[in-house]
Structures are given as C-alpha cells and as structure tokens.
Amino acid sequence: MQMVSTLADLRAARLALPGTAGLIPTMGYLHEGHISLARRARAECDSVIASIFVNPAQFAPNEDLAKYPRNLERDLQLLESAGVDLVWTPTPEGMYPPGFSTWVEVEGLTRPLEGAARPGHFRGVTTVVTKLFSAVQPERAYFGQKDAQQAAVIRKMVRDLDFPIEIIVGPTVREADGLAMSSRNAYLNAEERKAATVLFNALSAAQQAYQHGERDGDVLRGILRHVIDLQPLARMQYVSAADYDTLEELQTLTGKTLLSMAVFIGQTRLIDNFVLG
Ligand code: AMP
C-alpha cells in the first residue's frame, strides 16, 4: 500500500494505478463502517484509493475540529488489511492554500436537517469532495448511509456537475447494541456510551409503529422525541420524518421515508437514521 500527501505525489501515484478506481473519502479514526466501504470498493474496482483528511471547511468555529480523534498508524493498518492500494493524506495547507476562495454549494437539499443544524457544513463537504474527485478522478466513490443527507447531497452534486463518477452508498454498520459506528463515539464515557443507544432505540420504536400501520409524520416524530426525552443524558437537536428524495418533512408517509435525528449525548453530537418504505 502506497501513501502520499502532496497533490503532485497523489497524481503520479494515481496515474500508475491500473483499471477502474474506487475512492473512499474519510476523516480517519477508522472503524468497521469505513472498512466495509473499502472492502466493497476492493471487490468492485481494480484499484482502491482512500483519503484521510479532517476537513476544516466542514466544521463550524464552535465544533470539534481541534479535538477530532486521530490515529493515522492504526488507520493505515486497517486500510492495508482491507486491500487498499493508495492512501492520500492531504494537509489543510495543501487543500486550502492562502487566498483559497472557490466553493461548491448544492442548494435545496442542504437546507434542512444537518444543513439547518450546521450552517456551512455541506458547503465544506461538497467543496472538499469536489477537490478529491478532481484530483483522484475515480470511476466510483463510496459513502455511508449513516450520513444519509450527505450521500443525497453528493449524488445531487455529481448529477448537477456531470462528474463521470458512480456514487455507491453502503449500509450503516452498527455495534452489537445498535449504536451506529462513528469516530465521534470515542468521545463518550462509559455512562454516555450506554445512553447513546437511545438513537437506535428511538428509530426502532418509530419503525415498529410504522410497521403496525402508523403513517402520520407528527406521530412518528413524536415517538422519536418521546424516547429521547426519557434518556436523561440525551438532548435532542432535531428529529425528522422526511421524504427520502426531497428531505421535506411529511405530514403523511406515502413513499420512501427518511427517519433521522441529531442528539447530544453529553457534549457529543451523534446522528443516525433509518429508511422506511
Ligand atoms: P467520516 O470519516 O465520518 O467522514 O466518514 C467517511 C465515510 O464513512 C462517510 O461516507 C460516512 O458516511 C461513512 N461512514 C461513517 N460511519 C459509518 C457507519 N457506521 N456505517 C457505514 N458508513 C459509515
């Protein structure tokens, strides 16, 4: 497995890779969620490239950029055992040199949910992903359903900007008790880690109601809110039952629906979602 940091080295290494290329963009501190995407890319592409970059542009000033967990040595071991060929670890200065002033912005889909809770977040995501795509020029790029709105926004951007890249979205990988794997789970102490199952439990409760025929959006959002309210360490930021394609809140569920939420467990902000229908 080769490792590069500068754009010039990345370009040279990319040119030497054979056949179709699959890219897995990550912020590092890897877990089975990331590795499942790498393994899928390994099975579907001739060459596999992973990027590790904690992208400052997608963090607001009050967010956790400085303390975001990092462990490059372990990440490299995991990527190597997943069969990755090339790892790109750009630097913030390389990605955003002094005077950088060009941004990619997807309208509409970025307004609700994570976009409303984290102003500027998606502009940072779409800009960095555009730069990763333009440098690596993969045939396929792999993202996780864990970040459902992000996947939808990237798909839209690729369509709107005519990137010749197939976007593949892998299922959310969970711990045994249902907690969605996330690099941010490392922030949780033992008590918070137990409380963090409330996201999965709330989604499961709403899904069960849906399976018993409940189609009222307010009732389903109410179930999510109620389960979260019962957990003293949890503070809800938003709950949503939205149209899967437009992400608009639904009064009545008819087609494919995204149930999603952002919840603070102590100081740690976690997100999760289920797809219904
Ligand atoms: P991140 O390092 O958090 O930016 O995540 C990099 C990629 O891995 C994104 O496409 C995420 O959606 C995906 N990912 C993160 N957590 C999971 C998970 N638990 N299951 C599946 N994919 C995930």
CA-nearest residue, atom 10 of ligand 1: 143
Domain boundary residue among 144, 170, 196?
170
Number of domains in the chain: 2
Instruction: Report yes or no on 177 lying in a domain.
Output: no
Same domain, 34 and 143: yes
Q: Which atom of ligand 1 is nearest to the CA of 173?
A: 20
Q: How many CB atoms lie within 10 A of CB 7?
A: 15
Instruction: Report yes or no on 176 lying in a domain.
Output: no
Same domain, 118 and 59: yes
Domain region containing 242: 183-271
Same domain, 103 and 139: yes
* Tens of pLDDT, residues 159-179: 999 999 999 999 999 999 999
Same domain, 134 and 257: no
Same domain, 195 and 109: no
Same domain, 113 and 12: yes
Same domain, 164 and 239: no
Same domain, 132 and 195: no
Instruction: Report yes or no on 178 lying in a domain.
Output: no
Same domain, 120 and 202: no
Ligand 1 centroid to 183 CA: how many Å? 9
Angstrom distance (rounded) from CA 273 to CA 275: 7
Instruction: Report yes or no on 46 lying in a domain.
Output: yes
Instruction: Report yes or no on 223 lying in a domain.
Output: yes
Of all residues in the chain, the percent with pLDDT exceeding 90 is 100
Domain boundary residue among 170, 193, 210?
170
Owner of token pair 């959310």: 172
CA distances for 109 relative to 100, 131, 135, 177, 234, angstroms? 25, 20, 25, 31, 27
Burial of 266 (0-12, 13-18, 19+ CB in 10 A): middle
Give mean pLDDT, residues 175-200.
Answer: 98
Instruction: Report yes or no on 188 lying in a domain.
Output: yes
Same domain, 16 and 141: yes
By annotation, the residues acting in catalysis are 34
- Ligand 1 close to Cβ of residue 27 (< 6 A): yes
Q: Quickly list DSSP for 87-140.
A: EE---HHHHS-TT--------STTSSTHHHHSTTHHHHHHHHHHHHHHHH--SE
- Ligand 1 close to Cβ of residue 131 (< 6 A): no
Domain boundary residue among 140, 170, 200?
170
Instruction: Report yes or no on 175 lying in a domain.
Output: no
The CATH number assigned to the domain holding 16 equals 3.40.50.620
- Ligand 1 close to Cβ of residue 138 (< 6 A): no
Q: What is the mean pLDDT of the chain?
A: 98
pLDDT at 185: 98
- Ligand 1 close to Cβ of residue 183 (< 6 A): yes
Ligand 1 centroid to 99 CA: how many Å? 30
Angstrom distance (rounded) from CA 54 to CA 149: 19
The CATH number assigned to the domain holding 258 equals 3.30.1300.10
* Tens of pLDDT, residues 12-39: 999 999 999 999 999 999 999 999 999 9
Same domain, 68 and 149: yes
Instruction: Report yes or no on 71 lying in a domain.
Output: yes
Same domain, 19 and 134: yes
* Tens of pLDDT, residues 100-156: 999 999 999 999 999 999 999 999 999 999 999 999 999 999 999 999 999 999 999
